[in-house]
Amino acid sequence: MAALVLFLASAAANTVLYLNASGARQRILEDLMRAHVRLSAEVLDPVAHSRLTSAEMNGSPDHLAQLQKLQTIRRAYPQIKRLYTMRADEKDNLSIILDTFPPQAMNNEPPKIGRPPDHPLEKMREALVHLRRGELYEMSGTAPEDQVLGVMTPLPRQTSGFIDFVIADISNQYVATNLSVIRAAYYIALLVSLALALAGGFAVYLLRLRELVARQMSPGESEFFRKVTAVLPGLLYQARVSPLGQIKLTYASEDARSVCEMEPEELRRDPAAIVRLIHPDDRKQLKEKMLKANKGSKTWQEEFRVVLPKAGVRWRLGVAHVEKLADGSSLWHGFVTDTTARKQADEALRKNEASLKAAQQVAAMGSWELDLSDPTDLKSKTLRWSDETFRVFGLEPNSVPVSHDLFFQLVHPDDRALVEAALSEAVKTRGRYSLDHRIILAGGGIRHVHENAVILHHEKTGNSIAMLGTVHDITGRVRREEAVRRNEQRLKLATQAGRVGTWDYDVATKKIHWNDVMFTMKKLDPATFDPNLDESEDLLHPDDRARVMAEFNRCLSSRETRYESESRISLRDGEVLHTRSIAEILRDANGQAVRCVGIEIDVTAEKHAIESALAADRAKSEFLAMMSHEIRTPMNGVLGFTALLKETALAGDQEEYVTTIESSGQHLLHLINDILDLSKIESGRIKIHPAPFALRPFLQELFTLLRPRATEKHLDYRWNIEANAPEIILTDRTRLGQILTNLLGNAVKFTDRGKVHLQVMASKVSGSDNIWQWNFTVQDTGPGIAAGMLDKIFDPFYQADLSVTRRHGGTGLGLAISRRLARLLGGEISVTSTLGDGSEFTATILAPEALLEEPAIAPTASETGHFPGKKVLIVDDDPVGRKLCNLQLTKLGFVTVMAANGSEAVAKSREQQFDAILMDVQMPDMDGFTATREIRRFEKKRTPIIALTANAMIEDRERSLEAGMDDYISKPMKLDVLTRTLARWV
């Protein structure tokens, strides 16, 4: 009875065990299927897979590569009824993409991509809900021939719209077959248990049997396991965890070697070793998750890192089904596989994506993708935009789904047709497009973008897969270009309005680019004339060509950055233009000229104006010279004869009249001289003739001239040179004399009592070798000048106090001339004055100290006056002048001969030898210069020839000396000057 009870109990226990074991067996199979499906999803390339869109891609490299991966997995698991991938579109229409064969049928043609599933899958709708959530889904269904168990899992990283997934089917028949094996074991166990029960030792056996059933398999099964696990890239295990947490490994597949670098045996002996391999950072979390799974019957899945002795840090994916056992322990049916490569690829991809994002942001360039794989209407499609594309459009990344319509709403209305045409043309021709257009920003405003797009199509079939594009914010560039265009336009208008020609010479090609003004200016037709350097050279006036080209080439070949020239241009119609060119020379890094960009202006009118102004100026000075000659000649007579008249006995008032005539004449002469001087200075025609001279005798001479008037007024009249001042100065003696005479003259003229002092100081200009600053200060105790007048007195014809001036005479030109002369000598005239107290004028000039080459000639005895028997030829066309001269010379004891013009003078000189000739320069017939040259040609002994010039111009003095004359006297002749000059030569 007891045995019967024991047997029944044993049978019941066995039944429970059988049911348990068969459940466990099925779960192991299911786990394996899951592992395979996951593995398949892992090894397939989701992107390549998503490109497999139509039957035309059958046999394409993508197709074959993906198929082969799946087939390999299938081969490792021959019990799988089918292993294939499917796609469900938005409307849940299903099609098969990759399909594997049973291992023995490998040489068959691969099944076509895209065909519909060949058996009804009614429950697929529910499955798709799970798959779309990224979850694994299992279901059983009815295939035509038998029951099937299907496990499906989605491929990662699905593109929007459709979903790709892997399915593995296993026939329930197979499960049933396997169960019959277990069932047989059950019956045997039942019988054995009966025997053993009878033997009374079944209590111990009971436990053993349970383990046996749980652990051991039929020979067919273990063969199957051996094969599968041998090829499976991963560790398949079964472990039992006691309520106290002790782990006992009941099975570990061969791949333990690569998964944890341990022999399966070793692992079985010390299963805790695997815990030690877990990366410290992942250990805590993993433990928590495992403990949680351990509590209830659950599926556990986790990715974690291990640190292996050889391979170092690697990623592992663990999947397990945890089964709670009645004794509180749990049974883990699990699989661990290496996911390092995928993790690394993911990481690389993440990095690439991150750097792509950064690059896009930096370049302000976004990218987009338009899926063209299914041939529905373009308008119904959505676009995939990169973050930067959203930003370019003024949107937050991924803030809205981008439909075709939304995109076109953002395109500027005026550009929509253009963009639409480019897009549909590219789709139609499977080509590319590149265009600039405007977009309206979400927050308002307009942006300019540049878009580039290409169509991706399948290499073999040529079917379009997608359109890929970039969008680049070019607003800044467009605005700058617009600004440049506007500036160019303005410049063009300005150059045209200002009739400024512009040219741009390219050194390498010798080509010149002209603007319209250049063509108009040079009367050439842009249609027929293509300017280059040779053509431009031809246009130059022949007389300017060599000079201009030499200068141009010099500028190009030197380091100059600027070229400037004026030249004449001979137009084809014979007209001659004057133009001015200014150009910038642009050089490369080596300093070689590469371009020359410049302007050219027609200055013909300006030239003509200057020429006529110069001509007018010449005419004016000629007129002045003429007039001064014409006035001076009669003045010569007036003053000369007045002087002679004064020496005769005059009765009563006559002497006073004669004196008045003389002073009026002198005044008139003074005025003429001043006007002449000022007009010459104003026209810039006055030249400075520096020569060395001793300052003391020079000042003495000046002082002496004015002494009579100073003495007349009982003035304290003195001059002084500071001791350190150099003896000899190098400057224009005449001009300095003119300045000082004027200042001293004014002081003596305006001062009625008190003093007139001249103080000379000199100091070396610092930093110079030998330049001295000379200060000539004239102090007086005259009436002084009102402060408001101090500036004005230097203006021509300005006189401070007309009543005083009327009393003293004067032209109002003296200070104007003196200040201008002082400036010509490198200095200035300044004045300080107090009304009623007197004035102080200081003339400053810059001049070097000099050495006198020839000592000053001491006056000879004859200077005082008598030249008895010396023969002088007087040449003058003016009879009054001749007569006056004759009278003066006779008084000095000379014998005189007269000639009325140049040719007469030449004739007379041929006849006899003179001791001196006084030669007027301006004469009709033959002038004095020509006559002198003529005489110089034939004379045997050099006769001193002294020029008589009426216009007192320095140029005349130079011309006289050039013509071969020895000295000159300006008209009207003063007796003392005449005496001194003749004494030098006779």
> What residues from 815 to 844 belong to the interface with ligand ADP (CB under 6 A)?
815-816, 839
**Is residue 677 involved in binding ligand ADP (CB under 6 A)?**
no
**Is residue 757 involved in binding ligand ADP (CB under 6 A)?**
no
Tell me the two tokens of residue 404.
Answer: 């075709």
**Is residue 960 involved in binding ligand ADP (CB under 6 A)?**
no
The answer to whether the CB of 501 falls within 8 A of the CB of 582 is no
By CB under 6 A, which span of 269-277, 541-549, 557-565, 793-801 interacts with ligand ADP? 793-801
**Is residue 793 involved in binding ligand ADP (CB under 6 A)?**
yes
Q: Which is nearer to ligand ADP, 676 or 813 (CB)?
A: 813
CA 265 to chain centre: 74
Sequence-distant (6+) residues with CB within 8 A of 22 are 179, 182, 183
Tell me the two tokens of residue 759.
Answer: 């103080």
**Is residue 783 involved in binding ligand ADP (CB under 6 A)?**
yes
- Which of 301, 679, 805, 832 binds ligand ADP (CB under 6 A)? It is 805
Q: Which is nearer to ligand ADP, 233 or 812 (CB)?
A: 812
What gap in Å lies between CA 383 and CA 457, rounded to an integer? 17
Q: Which is nearer to ligand ADP, 500 or 804 (CB)?
A: 804
**Is residue 800 involved in binding ligand ADP (CB under 6 A)?**
yes
**Is residue 754 involved in binding ligand ADP (CB under 6 A)?**
no
Q: Which is nearer to ligand ADP, 454 or 790 (CB)?
A: 790
**Is residue 786 involved in binding ligand ADP (CB under 6 A)?**
no
Rounded to a whole number of angstroms, the minimum distance from the CB of residue 956 to ligand ADP is 25
- Which of 780, 877, 920, 966 binds ligand ADP (CB under 6 A)? It is 780
**Is residue 782 involved in binding ligand ADP (CB under 6 A)?**
yes
What gap in Å lies between CA 492 and CA 490, rounded to an integer? 5
Q: Which is nearer to ligand ADP, 555 or 678 (CB)?
A: 678
Q: Which is nearer to ligand ADP, 819 or 971 (CB)?
A: 819
CA geometry: angle at 128 spanning 124 and 130, to 5°?
120
What gap in Å lies between CA 644 and CA 884, rounded to an integer? 9
By CB under 6 A, which span of 310-318, 355-363, 400-408, 741-749 interacts with ligand ADP? 741-749
Start-to-end CA distance of the chain, whole Å, equals 187
Q: Which is nearer to ligand ADP, 210 or 749 (CB)?
A: 749
E strand intervals along 270-417: 298-308, 312-324, 330-338, 365-371, 382-385, 402-403
Tell me the two tokens of residue 409.
Answer: 């709403």
By CB under 6 A, which span of 259-267, 320-328, 587-595, 806-814 interacts with ligand ADP? 806-814
What gap in Å lies between CA 225 and CA 237, rounded to an integer? 11
CB atoms within 10 A of CB 759: 16
**Is residue 681 involved in binding ligand ADP (CB under 6 A)?**
no
Q: Which is nearer to ligand ADP, 300 or 798 (CB)?
A: 798
The answer to whether the CB of 238 falls within 8 A of the CB of 249 is yes
Q: Which is nearer to ligand ADP, 632 or 820 (CB)?
A: 820
Sequence-distant (6+) residues with CB within 8 A of 430 are 455, 457, 462, 464
- Which of 158, 799, 922, 949 binds ligand ADP (CB under 6 A)? It is 799
- Which of 260, 669, 676, 747 binds ligand ADP (CB under 6 A)? It is 747
Listed residue (230, 279, 282) closest to 257, CA to CA:
230
- Which of 811, 842, 951, 970 binds ligand ADP (CB under 6 A)? It is 811
Q: Which is nearer to ligand ADP, 71 or 751 (CB)?
A: 751
- 82-88/94-99 β-pairing: antiparallel
**Is residue 6 involved in binding ligand ADP (CB under 6 A)?**
no
430: DSSP letter: T
**Is residue 117 involved in binding ligand ADP (CB under 6 A)?**
no
Phi and psi dihedrals of 698, rounded to 5?
A: -65, -45
Rounded to a whole number of angstroms, the minimum distance from the CB of residue 647 to ligand ADP is 30
What gap in Å lies between CA 669 and CA 413, rounded to an integer? 90
Q: Which is nearer to ligand ADP, 514 or 750 (CB)?
A: 750
Q: Which is nearer to ligand ADP, 646 or 755 (CB)?
A: 755
Rounded to a whole number of angstroms, the minimum distance from the CB of residue 802 to ligand ADP is 8
Q: Which is nearer to ligand ADP, 752 or 976 (CB)?
A: 752
By CB under 6 A, which span of 404-412, 576-584, 745-753, 869-877 interacts with ligand ADP? 745-753
**Is residue 158 involved in binding ligand ADP (CB under 6 A)?**
no
Tell me the two tokens of residue 488.
Answer: 């160019």
Which DSSP string do the residues of 54-114 spell out, in sequence order? SGGGTT-HHHHHHHHHHHHHHHT-TT-SEEEEEEE-TT--EEEEEE---GGGTTSPPPPTT
Rounded to a whole number of angstroms, the minimum distance from the CB of residue 818 to ligand ADP is 7
What gap in Å lies between CA 396 and CA 391, rounded to an integer? 6
Rounded to a whole number of angstroms, the minimum distance from the CB of residue 602 to ligand ADP is 44
**Is residue 473 involved in binding ligand ADP (CB under 6 A)?**
no
What gap in Å lies between CA 86 and CA 764, rounded to an integer? 108
Neighbouring-strand partners of residue 338: 316
What gap in Å lies between CA 255 and CA 333, rounded to an integer? 15
The answer to whether the CB of 150 falls within 8 A of the CB of 30 is no
Site for ligand ADP, rule CB under 6 A: 742, 746-747, 750, 780, 782-783, 785, 793, 798-801, 805, 810-816, 839
